[in-house]
A = this chain, B = another copy of it.
Amino acid sequence: MTNSFNSIKCKDITWEGRADCLHCLIRRHDVLATVDVAQHEELLRPIIQYKYCRKNNLYNQGDEATDLFIVRNGMLKLEETLKDGTARIVRLIHRGGIAGIETLLDQNQSYEQSAIAVHETEVCKIPFRVFHNLMNIVPEFIDAIMKQWQQQLEASENVLINFSTGPLKQRLARIMLMLVEESYKQGNTEINMLQIEDIAALTGVTKESVSRVLAEFKRSQLLIKISPHRFDFDKEGLREIADS
Contact = CB atoms under 8 A, between A and B. Distances in A.
A115 to B, nearest CB: 14
Contacts of A104: 146
Given A102-B150, A145-B146, A90 B157 contact: yes
A201 to B, nearest CB: 10
A61 interface: no
Contact of A156 (B84, B108, B160): B160
A231 interface: no
Listed residue (A157, A159, A204) with the most chain B CB atoms within 10 angstroms of its CB? A157
Given A146-B145, A156-B153, A160-B156, A165 B204 contact: yes
Contacts of A204: 164-166
Nearest to A83: B243
- Range, interface on chain A: 20 to 34
A164 B203 CA distance: 10
A233 B108 CA distance: 34
Contacts of A152: 153
A149 interface: yes
A159 B165 CA distance: 12
A164 B160 contact: yes
A142 interface: yes
A80 interface: yes
A165 B83 contact: no
A84 B243 CA distance: 9
Nearest to A91: B157
Interface string A145-182: 11101101110110111001110000000000000000
A105 interface: yes
B156 A105 contact: no
Contacts of A146: 104-105, 145-146, 149
A154 B104 CA distance: 14
Interface of A: 80, 82-84, 88, 90, 101-102, 104-105, 108, 112, 142, 145-147, 149-150, 152-154, 156-157, 159-161, 164-166, 204, 243
17 contacts: A80-B157, A82-B161, A82-B165, A88-B160, A88-B161, A90-B157, A105-B150, A112-B154, A145-B146, A146-B146, A149-B149, A153-B153, A156-B157, A159-B160, A164-B164, A164-B204, A165-B204
